[in-house]
Chains A and B, each alone.
Chain A
Amino acid sequence: MKRQIPLVLVFIFGMLLAIQYFVPSEPSQRGYEFVLDWITIIGIFAMVLGIWSQVHVGWSKIKHRSENWQYSIVALVSMFAMIAFGLSPFGGLQGTIFRLIYNNVFIPIQATIFSLLAFYIASASYRAFRARSAVSTVLLVAALLLMLRVLPMGPLADPISSIGSWMLLVPNLAAKRAIAIGVGLGGVATALKIVLGIERSYLGKD
């Protein structure tokens, strides 16, 4: 019962949704939209589990005075404050304080984390330039050509730009196509394994 019913549910809903793809009729489309809605609504209940996990982990750190327990207080207080402001009937997501916090705390941090990519890509490039094999040399040369495209290279600018554009259009397309075909097959195989119950580790153990 603990595993049989879930396996049956997986099979039924998996097959229904797979068959639905081939059936364009109105009941089929409505069924498809229902299922998508249901998944979204269940996601709200799952959020309760998320809050519970955060509170549980944070409280545990605070109670046992684990390393960096003070920051768990910051995380929990800010989360509950945001929830309080956001769920308030006076404005909700458009409330003044909610938007102030979002625009002046969340957005600057988000933009800064995103901008860290500039530093990380520079350090990744530096490491990539120490090519240790023929294959990584190929990667390095291709990367260099594309990077040199945007720099003023004098008489070499046009040839480098042409080669770079050609590389982005031709071998790039070939490799992406080969990967996409493989990914498509792999995705279908994985989905089939789940629906047929071949893969069932997600159901846990009795």
Chain B
Amino acid sequence: MTSKTAMRILTAIVALIFLISWIMKSGSGMSDSAFTNVRDGFLVTFAVFLTLSIFSFLYRDNPFYKFAESLYVGISAGYWMCYGFWSTVVGNFVPRASRSLSEFFHVPYQEHADHILIYIPIIFGLILLTRLLPKIGWLSRWSLAFIIGATAGLNLTRYLRSDFISQVSNSFIPLFVDWKGVGDFVNHISLAADGQFIAILSNWVIFVGVMCGLVYFFFSKEHKGAFGVASRVGIWILMVTFGASFGYTVMGRISLLVGRITFLFGDWLNIL
């Protein structure tokens, strides 16, 4: 049997199952209106079809997945454009630009807005569209330059507090917690989570981890000798972190499947 024939048979089977499911879901609908039951039956069956089409990707690429993917991408692109229009154009631009447009779209006109300044991004936006015309397409670089420059300027300073200064200042942790001398420490040594030993060990691990992690990220010195040892310790600490994060998210990721299984076996097949 050729793959085309097999595909045709599979498509026919899927269509048959779709039809049977649609009829059965419509029949078991709770609404008084026959149209609503038929519509809801179709929607549930179609959602199941799309769900199973996506799952079929785990086996191999196939026309069902391709159809679901194309539909998904198209709907998403359309949705995002509509959302952008209503939230940005109508929600943000129109109330500041034009009273008559505000009335048309039923949004409150902002009396005190700076109406002239709002046309500057319009000009930049129109310049961006020159990209569609090959001869003057280079003009679009001006708009790109504005966006890149503005965002680079924002990023130049805004990372400093959260990603550098706060992190460095929070690294100044006490290395000897509640220290009352070696004798006292040895007498009270225990593996209790809130004990002195664990607190001191934890702070030393953090201190060594941060130092060696920073050494690992040194690019201008060869990682040899003592520097290499520190770098090695740094990468080991990083790997422990990555392993811990990986293990921690496993169950969370698996639980994402629960919703889909509940939909398939509950809402569709009424087993659960």
Contacts and interface: CB of A to CB of B under 8 A. Distances in A.
Interface of A: 2-3, 5-7, 9-18, 20-22, 34-35, 37-52, 54, 68, 71-72, 74-83, 85-87, 92-93, 98, 100-102, 104-106, 108-122, 125, 128, 135-136, 138-147, 149-150, 162, 164-185, 187-188, 190-192, 194-195, 202-204, 206
Interface stretch (B14-22, B24-32, B163-171, B177-185): B163-171
B168 A181 contact: yes
A14 B145 CA distance: 10
* Interface residues of chain A: helix, strand, loop or mixed (majority): helix
B206 A174 contact: yes
Contacts, number: 397
Contacts of A119: 58, 257
A112 B55 contact: yes
A9 B167 contact: no
Q: How large is the interface on B (under 10, 10 to 19, 20 to 34, 35 or more residues)?
A: 35 or more
Given A37-B121, A142-B239, A179 B78 contact: no
Contacts of A178: 209-210, 212-214, 216-217, 234, 237-238
Contacts of A110: 72
Interface of B: 43-44, 46-47, 50-51, 54-55, 57-58, 66-86, 88-89, 92-93, 114, 117-118, 120-122, 124-126, 128-129, 131-132, 138, 141-160, 162-164, 167-168, 170-171, 193, 198, 202, 205-210, 212-214, 216-217, 234-251, 253-257, 259-260, 263
Nearest to B232: A135
A78 B80 CA distance: 13
B138 A112 contact: no
Contact of B163 (A34, A81, A183): A183
B57 A14 contact: no
A177 to B, nearest CB: 5
Contacts of A180: 162-164, 167
A75 B162 contact: no
A175 B237 contact: yes
Nearest to B202: A170
B241 A9 contact: no
A31 to B, nearest CB: 10
B159 A184 contact: yes
Given A105-B71, A116-B58, A181-B214, A35 B150 contact: yes
A142 B244 contact: yes
* Interface residues of chain B: helix, strand, loop or mixed (majority): helix
Contacts of A50: 77, 81
B125 A138 contact: no
B142 A112 contact: no
B187 to A, nearest CB: 23
A85 B79 CA distance: 9
Contacts of B69: 71
Contact of B248 (A11, A139, A146): A146
A7 to B, nearest CB: 7
A150 B147 CA distance: 47
A6 B144 contact: yes
A170 B81 CA distance: 44
Contacts of A146: 243-244, 246-248, 250
Contact of B78 (A5, A78, A204): A78
Nearest to B216: A178
Nearest to A86: B82
16 contacts: A9-B146, A13-B153, A18-B153, A21-B158, A37-B121, A38-B124, A40-B88, A41-B118, A45-B128, A105-B50, A115-B260, A147-B247, A174-B210, A180-B162, A184-B162, A206-B138
Given A74-B74, A171-B244, A44 B89 contact: yes
